[in-house]
Amino acid sequence: MSENLRGALIMMACMSAFVLNDAFVRLAGNSLPLAQILFLRGVLTTLILLTFAIYLGTFKVRAIKKDKWKIFFRSVAEALAAYFFLTAVLNMPFANVMALLQILPMTVTLAAALVFKEKVGVIRIILIIIGFLGVMLIINPSSDGFNLYSGYALIAVILITVRDLITRKLSVEVPTLLPTVSASFGVLLFSIILLAKTPMQPLNIQNSFFIILAAFFIIFGYYTAVLVMRVGDISFVSPFRYSAIIFALIIGSIFFKEWPNLSSFIGICIVTVAGALLLYKNHAI
């Protein structure tokens, strides 16, 4: 197996893990409030990631003051993004909200040009505009399908964009696991704040199983997200992140009996093609 093929398979495994995490959160949301799900999942993921971090000596690396603040604000962005995104997952067609998340390469590219003065170029600008047109078809503001939760999904995209921009500016000396553990801990703390005004619901075998699976898949997603950047050519591997759309369509139709309408489906296709081309363009230079 070539390194590029191996990288593509790992990327698809990574995307399927994140999609499955979101799906099991939604399934658990049928009987539990989001705050409780975030708390229980957060306890599991934080304990497991913390164990790995201690074992690997992650905390022995002394981060400079600037990096500590960046990690802090990155964790805040992660916690808020988790709340807004998963609220949208619980209240929107599954494939639609997953497709909205796939405009990240466009928002990150655009934000990097505005904030860090990175060169974008005409082709990238055209792809970004096309991608945003696809988003408009997905959320369809002129129809009843556009609601508060479409806005929640877009807010999550903005927050994740901020998170990714902060990540770009972390020193190379900062171990990957350190901001990952910090982000997981940030989500856990935020869930505790939400729980202060949220009555706890009883756990049963089914919703407990869903939360355990969600925790497993998000940890697997974190791990493979790091691993995939070290295998194969980035220009070849990165566009395979759009396999998430395929997984979301399949899971949405099987688990939730949902299928996008024609407008949304065309929008999903546009976002997928434009985003994949932008990712290839970004890394093929």
The per-residue pLDDT for range 179-217, each reduced to its tens digit, is: 889 999 999 999 999 998 889 999 999 999 999 999 999
pLDDT at 24 (0 to 100): 97
Confidence of residue 120 (pLDDT cuts 50, 70, 90): confident
* Average of per-residue pLDDT across 71-89: 94
pLDDT at 1 (0 to 100): 63
pLDDT at 201 (0 to 100): 94
pLDDT at 17 (0 to 100): 95
pLDDT at 239 (0 to 100): 85
Give every CB contact of residue 16 below 8 A, 6+ residues apart in sequence.
243, 244, 247
pLDDT at 202 (0 to 100): 94
- Read off the pLDDT of residues 139-185 as tens digits, 9 standing for 90 and up: 876 555 557 888 899 999 999 999 888 888 888 788 888 888 999 99
In the predicted model, is pLDDT for residue 89 greater than 90? Answer: yes
Write down the domain spans for the chain: 3-283
The answer to whether residues 245 and 99 touch, using CB atoms and an 8 Å cutoff, is: yes
Kindly report the average pLDDT of the chain as a whole number: 88
The answer to whether residues 260 and 95 touch, using CB atoms and an 8 Å cutoff, is: yes
What's the CA gap between 269 and 131, in Å, rounded? 10
Best CA proximity match to 120, nearest among 129, 100, 164, 136 = 129
